Structure 1
Amino acid sequence: MIMRFLVTLFALLMLAPAQALTVEEIGGGAERLLKEGRFDELDRLASEYIRQDTRLVAGNSALYHFYDTLGGFKESGNFGFASTIPRARKDELLMRWLEKKPESVAVRLALAEFWTIDAWNTRGEKAASDIPESVWKAFRWRMNQARLFLDQVKSRDDPHFYYLQIDIAKGLDDKAAIDANFEAGRKRFPNYFHYYSQRASLLQEKWFGDPGELQSYVRSLAVKPGGDDGLIAYSYVTWEMMKYMGGKRAMQEVGLQWPAIKAGYAAREKRYGLRNRDWNVLCVMAVTAGDRPAAKTALAQIGTNWTSAAWGNQKEFNKWVDWIQSGDPQPSKQ
């Protein structure tokens, strides 16, 4: 058993160096271990991800994707790794892990992730006013199931614990718990960058933010966590805001500043490298700010591998490529 675990761990962590580890490798490995009942190895893998602070290219925590995989299921859609395990079977496998390893922290976090994902999947994408009370009742029940599993966790050594606490508090409309868990998580694990993008999303006024609170939070990153961690956190927030409102509105309404964005992605590249998506985001923000040299540098990394998440469509991408490569005046941004 020990030898099999070492072989698995070597394949996941050694043959794929930190810079080459992918969501698919993490997800495929975790689901394979779960289906085969190799629960000791899942626990050890979670511990290794924590101990080594294992990262993917661009800085995402391997632990973040590990739990996302274990909590996700076939019907929940693809938020990172596309699970092939149906919901009922995933529930069964996780409960078997809990039965075999009742002392495991990792399985409780995986179950909390599972019930949180199931809750949001149950809620759906409709506006809150269009959701019937029966669905809200099912949603809250699932969120409370997730909270029950987290309440059983006494250790605070896993950074994803606080991320889940915040997501559950969001679902249960508990702003005080959101704030308390963010502060506790940031203090204990200042470079678990997923906290920062998660909080930026929640501080939008449509969720829990007061007027000006999001803008103040963005400015605060220079101090908390500060330094290079603060710059990298700023880049995470940049992408989160760009997803919701595009680059131009993110600058105008959230107060994202181009020099800080540029410095954030530079710090992130130096520490972790950047993915194609990151270069696309950086290029969009550069053209929004009118920084042709920075846009040209990003475009050299992109080539023709534009992403719709950043540009919207190829016509928009081509328009800005023409501007980057010419000396023409800046066109209008969508």
Structure 2
Amino acid sequence: MWGRRTTAAMIRAMAVCFLAIPSGLFAAEPELRTWSSSDGRFSTEARLVALQGGMVTLQKSTGETISAPLRSLSLQDRDYVLQREDPADPAVALFLKARTEQQPLEYVPVSEFSTAPQRRIDYLAVSRDESRALTCSNLPAGTSFVWDPATGDKICQLERSGPLNAAALGPAGKIAVISDSTRVEVFDASTGKRRNTFPVPQEAQGEIVSLTVSDDAQWYIAITADRRILRHRLSDGQGLASPPVPHEGGGRSEYFAVGPHGQAVLMSSNPAILNLYRDQGDATKVETIRLEHKAEPHAAAWSDSMTAFACSKHQLLVFLKVDDGWKRLDPMWLRLQDVARMVIAPDEEMVVLQGDGKKIQIFDISTGDIQYAEEPEPHLPKVIGSSGLTLYASYGNHFCCWKTPYREQPKTVWFRETKELLRQGEFETLDRLAGLCLADPTPFSWGELSKFDSFIDALLAPVNLRDFGDFHAVKRTAKAKAWREKNPESIAARVLLAGYQINDAWHARGDGYGDSVTPEGWRTFHAGITDAKETLEPVMQGDDPPARAYWFLFIVAMAKGWEGEQMAPLLTAFFQRYPDYTEGHQLIAQRLMPRWGGEEGETTAYIEKVADTIGGERGDIAYANMTIDQLKFHASDKFFEETRFQYDRMIRGLLALARNPNQKSYAVNYGMFFAWVQRDKATGLKFYALLDDPRYEGRWKPWGYEGLFDYVIHWLETEE
């Protein structure tokens, strides 16, 4: 490769969607330096001339020029080239941000100030835009101040006195609402002057237990101790007080949230029910959702596209309003105990939960990640800011604020901004970004797969809430088609579109058995799979198809039932080109199972062949990943008996994988799980010792239900 002329075919294949940067964009005369290949076998002294079409042009001191693919250079040399690119190019800027290191997730202090003459803060509220904070005290009785939480500047004192039992701020901090046992008062939060007073209905028994202002600032909504919903429109005083809300089972009911236009949700347990209330003129429409399994609600939140979030002891349940129906996402596992507060971020891509006083849990719907941050001052009760990034608390008469830089984490930035480029139809930028990823196939520091896989995954990410609204799956597919039409030669556009077409096909079919699929479902499924095949054909006919293109084509092959003659050339080419791309090998292994026409033992033999070909520790890791993928097809207690997989080799692979910080949690959970399946306590303890805090490191997979992880931890901690 070094010192040789690269073939025209290779250049054409790599230039399809690679970044093209003409010479002259680099700084003035680059220095003469040593360049090395990624495998360390070649090196030369030269200076950088240009990067174009994924090819780096170098000039030796003799004047001779040489060219090599960017991806063939050492990591240090790739860094050198990328650092000299045009930082004003949005593709380059995003790529460089994504290549930075993930930082530890923590909350850092933002502000702290005294609210004197208040002696203590009994009630604390923060506006939805987090521009204002309201502190209320019954010492002196009823003193209430509005603050700038970032600076500690006092905005005003509300013109009121006397005890209070609840307080809230409007979404922009312009309205303050205070309640006591007999009335609800509304104030101008800029001047402190009272705007209106609404009496609590005489028939209501007990004080107001929850109070808020709707997101459109048109209503205040409250719930009384006897389960009565109160609402008054702030503009004209029109009010509505519901009868006591009927409630089955006698369970608790104080779990409450308010959404746009004064919609409200009450959750009950025993049995678990979501009661949804919508204003309809002079009446309240009530809709009920019964949870499909036992759940003990602890907290709720609401956003534009979401019907409700409900949280049980170990599960986060997400209900979305899709057209006129409901859609529930798969349960998400929580390790927090007794979640008391939760917030949905304004972009609906993040849920933040606070519960047992040790950790803040962040569930990122966009990336599918679950992360934990140490909770500052865990003994203090907190308010989570609506952004999900800030925490507010008080002690005595001191107000405190902390913030986490989660949104600036490189993986979060990558997923968010890459999807936004597709939303906006920035196809040329996407092609340049994909080109950078194809030119440098090593993983990002926060990932496990190639950069191009991370690019595709960002656009195929777990569907966020907005994808069910203004940007649902049909529109995403249409965007990808528009990208392909604008640049038919784009590898990235075709691979992404094929992924969407496959997803759409399986959505139409459903995940049930074949006899449960409707004729229309089968028709749409087969049409979508055929579309995906045709979309991928030009990519596969090129000289350098990316691994993800093979992976999608294997899904097509399984759906179409391709036999040996059709599969053999594809398998041979894939095995030679990507021997350690385990995701593709997992699909092949599935295709070789008897349920899809394979012979008994073929899957096990294929997995062993792949692992042996890779060899060494990397082979053991590949073996562990591929065997774990087979778990979903077998009963766990008979897994090794039915498959004849090598338990010892799997454990070696998982122990090796656990040394990778990005894979540690995955490896440790599966290591403990399989050790428990084999009742191998000594091995289980090796993985257990790698846990930093067992309480927060359980994963939904492989355990399957909330109690098994805790049972196995108890088994490992108990002496025989």
TM bucket (normalised to shorter chain) is: 0.7 to 0.9
Partner residue in 2 for 1:93? 479
Partner residue in 2 for 1:286? 675
Partner residue in 2 for 1:115? 501
1:58/1:269 contact within 8 Å kept:
no
1:162/1:184 contact within 8 Å kept:
no
2:556 matches 1:168: yes
Mapped partners of 1:44, 1:246: distance in 2: 46
> What is the deviation of 1:127?
0.6
Partner residue in 1 for 2:448? 59
2:655/2:667 contact within 8 Å kept:
no
Moved more, 142-151 or 299-308: 299-308
Mapped partners of 2:493, 2:417: distance in 1: 16
Indicate which of 597, 602, 609 corresponds to 1:213: 602
Mapped partners of 2:513, 2:502: distance in 1: 19
> What is the deviation of 1:326?
2.6
2:546 matches 1:158: yes
Indicate which of 25, 37, 57 corresponds to 2:425: 37
Distance 1:179 1:69, change over 3 A: farther
Mapped partners of 2:567, 2:455: distance in 1: 23
Indicate which of 648, 651, 660 corresponds to 1:259: 648
2:593/2:603 contact within 8 Å kept:
yes
> What is the deviation of 1:108?
0.8
Distance 1:112 1:218, change over 3 A: same
Mapped partners of 2:424, 2:454: distance in 1: 20
Mapped partners of 1:100, 1:26: distance in 2: 24
Partner residue in 2 for 1:129? 515
Please, what TM-score do these two structures have when normalized by structure 2?
A: 0.41
Mapped partners of 2:410, 2:678: distance in 1: 33
2:93 matches 1:4: no
2:704 matches 1:312: yes
Distance 1:63 1:4, change over 3 A: closer
> What is the deviation of 1:62?
4.0
2:714 matches 1:322: yes
The residue type equivalent to 1:308 in the other structure is: W
Mapped partners of 2:524, 2:511: distance in 1: 15
2:587 matches 1:198: yes
2:582/2:626 contact within 8 Å kept:
no
Q: Which structure has more strand as a fraction of its residues?
A: 2
| Matched position secondary structure for 2:590 | helix
> What is the deviation of 1:281?
0.8
The residue type equivalent to 2:698 in the other structure is: W
1:60/1:193 contact within 8 Å kept:
no
Mapped partners of 1:284, 1:113: distance in 2: 32
Mapped partners of 2:549, 2:698: distance in 1: 35
> What is the deviation of 1:58?
7.0
Distance 1:231 1:47, change over 3 A: farther
The residue type equivalent to 1:92 in the other structure is: A
1:190/1:229 contact within 8 Å kept:
no
Mapped partners of 1:10, 1:68: distance in 2: 18
The residue type equivalent to 1:258 in the other structure is: Y
Q: Mark the runs of 5 or more structure 1 residues left unpaired by the alignment.
A: 73-77, 329-334
1:235/1:264 contact within 8 Å kept:
yes
| Matched position secondary structure for 1:206 | helix
Partner residue in 2 for 1:75? none
Q: What RMSD in Å do the two structures reach over aligned CA positions?
A: 2.7
Mapped partners of 2:670, 2:447: distance in 1: 13
Partner residue in 2 for 1:228? 617
Moved more, 281-290 or 173-182: 173-182
Mapped partners of 2:644, 2:715: distance in 1: 25
2:484/2:494 contact within 8 Å kept:
yes
Partner residue in 1 for 2:191? none
RCO (CA 8 Å, sep 6+): is it higher in 1 or 2?
A: 1
Equivalent residues in 2 for 1:230-249, closer than 5 Å: 230-249=619-638
Equivalent residues in 2 for 1:258-277, closer than 5 Å: 258-270=647-659, 273-277=662-666
> What is the deviation of 1:282?
1.3
Cα shift readout 1:157-212 (whole Å, capped 9, x = no counterpart): 41111111111111111133445423321210122221122223333322242222
For the pair shown, the structure with the greater C-alpha radius of gyration is 2
Q: Which structure has more helix as a fraction of its residues?
A: 1
Distance 1:147 1:52, change over 3 A: same
Distance 1:189 1:222, change over 3 A: closer
Mapped partners of 2:466, 2:450: distance in 1: 19
Indicate which of 498, 503, 526 corresponds to 1:140: 526
| Matched position secondary structure for 1:55 | coil
Mapped partners of 1:109, 1:276: distance in 2: 30
Partner residue in 2 for 1:331? none
Q: Mark the runs of 5 or more structure 2 residues left unpaired by the alignment.
A: 1-85, 104-408
| Matched position secondary structure for 2:594 | coil
Mapped partners of 1:111, 1:258: distance in 2: 39
Mapped partners of 1:28, 1:179: distance in 2: 39
Mapped partners of 2:523, 2:549: distance in 1: 25
| Matched position secondary structure for 1:174 | coil
